[in-house]
Structure 1
Amino acid sequence: MSEANERISKIVNGADVVLFMKGTPLFPQCGFSNRAISILDHCNVAFESVDVLQDMEIRQGIKSFSEWPTIPQLYVKGEFIGGSDIMMEMFEAGELQQLLDEKQVAKAD
């Protein structure tokens, strides 16, 4: 396993919900990352975020780690869920909230 993959694995498994995004929750740097943050905020879930713009190794590594070509990427309890389009579809269908409830992830403070 490459160093980047090891780092990503630790991040993904280090929190119940992790969002790899461009920018930060307070200052998202793309519309898709902004949408992902809005969805998670609406679900009232605690999450960690990783700004891929700050680390090119992570930015490229996350794409091969998940075998998914775009960012943002959402992980719940170590499982890759998808990007912002999948998040939106799941959110609109009530599936994302159901998944978060089933996995018993922590609520936001």
Structure 2
Amino acid sequence: MDTLTTIKEQIESNAILLYMKGTPKFPQCGFSSQTVQNLMNCGERFAFVNILEHPDIRAELPKYANWPTFPQLWISGELVGGCDIITDLAQSGELAEMISAAAPAEADADTE
């Protein structure tokens, strides 16, 4: 499977998906850490992909998304944005609404 197909399948099969550096328990950059905290404060499970372990996705996703930086949050197949946007949405209460509306009833939210 090629990388773009993998990316498309990950986005389509996960209602809430975070492409990040590291994992939610061990973020590897401050922006990923802050984004994870904002997501965790919403109280719903979310899938993630550690781009440090997937250099092919790290290279191709910015082109696919037309968004150059990480982390990237995708909700219901749409790119929401990166750390600054997520933080603004969290502070306004909009992130919790978006997450709640998209939250899947699934047992395992890790895509790796």
Runs (4+) of structure 1 exceeding 6 A deviation are none
CA deviation vs aligned residue, 1:45-64 (integer Å, no higher than 9, x gap): 11111000011110011111
After superposition, residues 51-70 of structure 1 pair within 5 angstroms as: 51-70=50-69
Partner of 1:75: 74
Shift of 1:98: 1.7
Q: What is the RMSD of the two structures over their aligned residues, measured on CA atoms?
A: 1.9
User: Which segments of 5 or more consecutive residues in structure 2 lack a partner in the other structure?
Assistant: 108-112
Identity within the alignment, %? 34
Residue-pair matches, total: 107
TM-score (norm 2): 0.88
CA deviation vs aligned residue, 1:12-63 (integer Å, no higher than 9, x gap): 1111100000001111000000011101110011111100001111001111
Partner of 2:104: 106
SS at match of 1:69: coil
Partner of 1:30: 29
Report if aligned partners of 1:45, 1:107 keep a CA contact under 8 Å in 2: no
- Separation in 2 of the partners of 1:72 and 1:7? 18
